[in-house]
Amino acid sequence: MKNRVRAIFLVMCGLAMAAGVVYADLKKGYYTPAVLGSLRQPAPAELSPDSNYHVSAYPVPLADLAPGEGLQDVQIYCNTCHSPRYITMQPPLPAATWEAEVNKMNKTFGAAIPEDNTQKIILYLQTHYTVENRKQ
Amino acid sequence: MIVTEQRVSRRGLLKTLAGASSGIAVSRWLRPDVTMAQDPASGKVIEAFTGPRANWHWNSVGPYVTEPQKVPLILLTDRPVQLETPRHYFRTAFTPNEAFYVRWHLEGIPNAVDLNDWKLQIDGNVNKSLAFTLTELMTKFKPVSLAAVNQCSGNSRSQMQPRVAGGQWGHGAMGNAMWTGVRLHDLLDMAGVKSDSLVVQFQGLETGQGPKGLGSNLFLKSLDLDNSVLDECVVAYQMNGEPLPMLNGFPVRLVVPGYFATYWTKCLTGVRVLNTPDENFWMKTGYRVPDTPRGNTTPDDVKAGKVKTVPIGRFPVRSFLISPDGSAKIPAGMNVTLRGIAFSGSGPVKGVEISDDQRNTWTPAKLGEDYGAYSFRTWEAPWAAKSPGRYSIAVRATDEKNNTQPDEPVWNPGGYLWNRIERQEIVVGNAS
């Protein structure tokens, strides 16, 4: 438990630092929450004739994740590198595939999710996103 | 870097974020304006996912989303951004920039580029390292223009059986544009590639949260220096006569005609000549296909470790019926025009045929204007059904090297190289 709290704290610090970077410099990786199905048109960009070419933040609509044990681990750890829409976009996948995907994040991509949380994430995905149990 | 979910422990998150980021509208993250949401007028919406069988829609099933410099496109993922082009934008040979599909790998994608700072570096195993501003690229070299299809390696991945993990693209992860820029060879020749060099590696502004040295940190691709495609590569600063949208690689992207889009590095900043093989993740592990005909294999062979892989390369010949798209009935006896596109990564398309009798007999379609070997080629064919019923229209293309689309599916664990003959059901109704 202590380890978990420490890990969450570290991740939160990372998030805070990342957010600080965004605040300091909106040049990259700038995203904003959004609502799906909006029919309103985006406002035209404000432009000035200098050498800076910019676009607004990229919209991030909430992903509709299944409620259940492990959801918070998914939201914290998976969210560091990509939005959880990466999960809901997939077709139902075999339990072994979900395990392999999470292990790939740790081993190949260096996610360094603590073992306890890794197992929780795997179990969450296997409980809600296989052929046998996927509902949404 | 940003928690997008409402259900994260809000108090903790707010506490942590408050110190570092008072400039970010955190409250917006936690209380999105739900009053603006609106579903289609019919009240019936497409399913949230497809599977375990193949996706039975032409496009993927995600919602529409409006991203900067884009018309509403189909959302696959939002961070990083992956967007699919809806089918109707393929009625023309050139795909509009604002509708052109988008695919990034890592979440650090540019929102801004300052052309006062940005430079394209040519370095590594060369006689003289060089760096060019956009002005220099536009004025120091003879511009070239080339029509070329940019197709994602995973286009149509949602057709695979069994389904595989990855971006669940329908058929709209492709587009054709007129690319204008500088020949890559002009840049390499000016820098002087040393004789012991092996590959040329490309880097863009795309970065990720992962540790240094891993694929989650940097997206790098390379091409062998003895690959003849290098003679055709263009460092493009224009797309259909306009600057590139940020999401498609502003200010310049690499154009590798006939090759899958994984090599078309966006927001290109570095061209590096190496005298060692490129061992980075995106060449050694990612984007590889079985070294078999069509890149075809089976889950059993993969499990048994029997599959030798090679980096993905040119895309195979493909064709699509774009309209009619099956969304509305056609009255019996009415003469309509079937319209679509065809293309191949191995030279020009020489013929397109259609069939409405379960692929027993084929009728040639009329090809549209020829914009070059690597462009979409439009086609059209007259069609009418005398009696009401359900018809399956199939389209197949053949390229100059006599590659023809097969009727059999393809399967590999990456979900790449799909190019079987596509079919479209058309419902013909009673006309009186």
Domain match, B189 and B262 both:
yes
pLDDT band for B28, please (50, 70, 90 cuts).
very low
Does position A58 have pLDDT exceeding 60, yes or no?
yes
pLDDT tens sequence across B251-308: 999 999 999 999 999 999 999 999 999 999 999 999 999 999 999 999 999 999 999 9
What number is the average pLDDT over the span B149-163?
A: 98
Domain match, B277 and B129 both:
yes
pLDDT band for A6, please (50, 70, 90 cuts).
low
Domain match, B326 and B275 both:
no
Examine the predicted complex and report whether its ipTM is higher than 0.85: yes
* Distance of alpha carbon B403 from alpha carbon B294, whole angstroms: 11
Domain match, B149 and B277 both:
yes
Instruction: Please indicate whether, in this complex, the C-beta atoms of A15 and B16 are within 8 angstroms of each other.
Output: yes
Q: Which residues in chain A have Cβ-Cβ distances shorter than 8 Å to B251?
A: 53
Contact B122, B193 (CB under 8 A): no
Domain match, B229 and B125 both:
yes
Mutation pick from A6, A26, A78, A81 vs chain B, by most beta carbons of B within 10 Å, is A81
Domain match, B126 and B226 both:
yes
Judged by a CB distance cut-off of 8 A, whether residue B107 touches chain A is yes
* Residue from the list A22, A39, A80 with its beta carbon closest to the beta carbon of B24: A22
Question: B404 in a domain, yes or no?
Answer: yes
Question: B162 in a domain, yes or no?
Answer: yes
* Residue from the list B20, B50, B167 with its beta carbon closest to the beta carbon of A23: B20
Of B361, B356, B378, nearest in space to B369 by CA? B378
Question: B91 in a domain, yes or no?
Answer: no
CA of A37 vs chain B CAs: smallest distance (Å): 5
Contact A30, A57 (CB under 8 A): yes
Domain match, B278 and B345 both:
no
Mutation pick from A11, A39, A55, A85 vs chain B, by most beta carbons of B within 10 Å, is A55
Least confidently predicted of A19-28, B184-193, B249-258: A19-28
The pTM for the full model equals 0.90
Question: B79 in a domain, yes or no?
Answer: no
Amino acid at A83: S
Assigned CATH topology for domain A2-34+59-128 = Cytochrome Bc1 Complex; Chain D, domain 2 (1.10.760)
Q: What CATH number has the domain bearing residue B221?
A: 3.90.420.10
Question: B200 in a domain, yes or no?
Answer: yes
Angle between helices A115-128 and A2-24 (to 10 degrees): 80
- Amino acid B108: pLDDT: 97
Instruction: Count the domains in chain B.
Output: 2
Mean pLDDT score of chain B, rounded to an integer?
Answer: 92
Strands B82-84 and B218-224: unpaired
Does position B314 have pLDDT exceeding 90, yes or no?
yes
Domain match, B279 and B337 both:
no
List the domain range (segments joined by +) for residue B278: 120-286
| B17 contact partners, CB below 8 Å, separation of at least 6 | A15, A16, A19, B24, B26
Parse chain A into domains and list their residue ranges: 2-34+59-128
What number is the average pLDDT over the span B199-228?
A: 97
Among B286, B309, B344, identify where a domain stops. Answer: B286
Domain match, B141 and B247 both:
yes
Instruction: Please indicate whether, in this complex, the C-beta atoms of B38 and A110 are within 8 angstroms of each other.
Output: no
Instruction: Please indicate whether, in this complex, the C-beta atoms of A83 and B79 are within 8 angstroms of each other.
Output: yes
- Tokens 């202590």 belong to A2
Q: Which residues in chain B have Cβ-Cβ distances shorter than 8 Å to A117?
A: none
Domain match, B345 and B258 both:
no
Judged by a CB distance cut-off of 8 A, whether residue B51 touches chain A is yes
pLDDT tens sequence across B118-147: 999 999 999 999 999 999 999 999 999 999
pLDDT band for B382, please (50, 70, 90 cuts).
very high
Question: B2 in a domain, yes or no?
Answer: no
